[in-house]
Amino acid sequence: MEPRLKIDKRLNLVISVEDDDRTVFVHSAPISREVFEANIFIISKTLSVLYEEGLTVFAGPRVAATMMKNIAIERGIWEGPNGVENVLMNEIRRLTNVVLPGERGWMTMPYEDAVKSGGIDAETAAEIEGNIVFFTCVSFMHKKKEIPALLQGMNEIWGSQNTSLNSTEWANSLPTSTPDASSGGTVTVSSIPR
């Protein structure tokens, strides 16, 4: 029998991102209830439109951020100091960190820094933000008992996972990795999460 995801407190989303030579992880904490309430229209409308168009866990995570942007632009609430871009999306990005291999093992950096430095390209950033927006919409709009099945389906399809650990705790649970001097690759020192 497969273990079932149990929601007993707010979970964080972890997305694995692979490129040619490394795997990085994106850890995103959920927005606060206050931010949700201030953005309830755009969050509920985004999920509603995704579902109306048949975009559930299969395609919804890929397009949720773009759908939210399009709806907000259409409604005239995307730009400006109180717009969705400056309030909700900036808060989602602020709550997101990237865990990547460094010279001294795993290091954590803010998501926006990873995007600005080119560590995450624009196409990958769009996919990540789509997953995070979909996760945000599902987490707040569905009944508590429905969330585990939806997140489990999303995780299976998109290779994400949910954790109650914050980004630092989650990074510390990864196997220790250090550069291998002989090959320039990465060696896993311990495969047992701490």
* DSSP state letters, 7-64: -SSPPEEEEEEE-SS-EEEEEEPPPPHHHHHHTHHHHHHHHHHHHHTT-STTTHHHHH
d(Cα 67, Cα 52) in Å, to the nearest integer? 12
- Average pLDDT in the 51-73 region? 94
Q: According to the model, what pLDDT value does residue 178 have? A: 54
Q: According to the model, what pLDDT value does residue 177 have? A: 59
* Tally of structural domains, the chain: 1
pLDDT tens by residue, 88-116: 999 999 999 999 888 888 889 999 999 99
Q: What is the mean pLDDT of the chain?
A: 83
In a domain, 193, yes or no: no
Q: According to the model, what pLDDT value does residue 11 have? A: 86
Q: According to the model, what pLDDT value does residue 92 have? A: 96
Residues spanned by the domain of 127: 12-188
pLDDT tens by residue, 119-160: 888 888 998 999 999 999 998 998 888 888 888 888 888 888
Q: Is the pLDDT of residue 183 over 70?
A: no
In a domain, 131, yes or no: yes
Q: Is the dihedral of CA 163, 130, 87, 99 positive or negative?
A: positive
- 180: which 2 tokens? 């291998």
Beta bridge partners of 188: 177
Q: According to the model, what pLDDT value does residue 73 have? A: 98
Q: What is the DSSP letter of 98?
A: E
Query: Among residues 8, 14, 50, which one has the least CA distance to residue 137?
Result: 50
Residue 65: its H or E element: helix 60-75
Q: According to the model, what pLDDT value does residue 182 have? A: 41
In a domain, 27, yes or no: yes
Q: How many CB atoms lie within 10 A of CB 37?
A: 11
Query: Between residues 38 and 177, which one has the greater pLDDT?
Result: 38
pTM summary value? 0.80
- 124: which 2 tokens? 């990958």
Q: According to the model, what pLDDT value does residue 190 have? A: 31
pLDDT tens by residue, 23-42: 889 999 999 999 999 999 99
Ramachandran assignment for 54, one of left (phi > 0), alpha (psi -120 to 50 degrees), beta (any other): left
Q: According to the model, what pLDDT value does residue 130 have? A: 94
In a domain, 178, yes or no: yes
Complete edge-to-edge strand list for the sheet that includes strand 12-18: 105-110, 96-102, 23-28, 12-18, 160-163
In a domain, 2, yes or no: no
26 neighbors 128 (Cβ within 8 angstroms): yes
Q: According to the model, what pLDDT value does residue 189 have? A: 35
In a domain, 194, yes or no: no
Q: According to the model, what pLDDT value does residue 102 have? A: 81
- 169: which 2 tokens? 């705790």
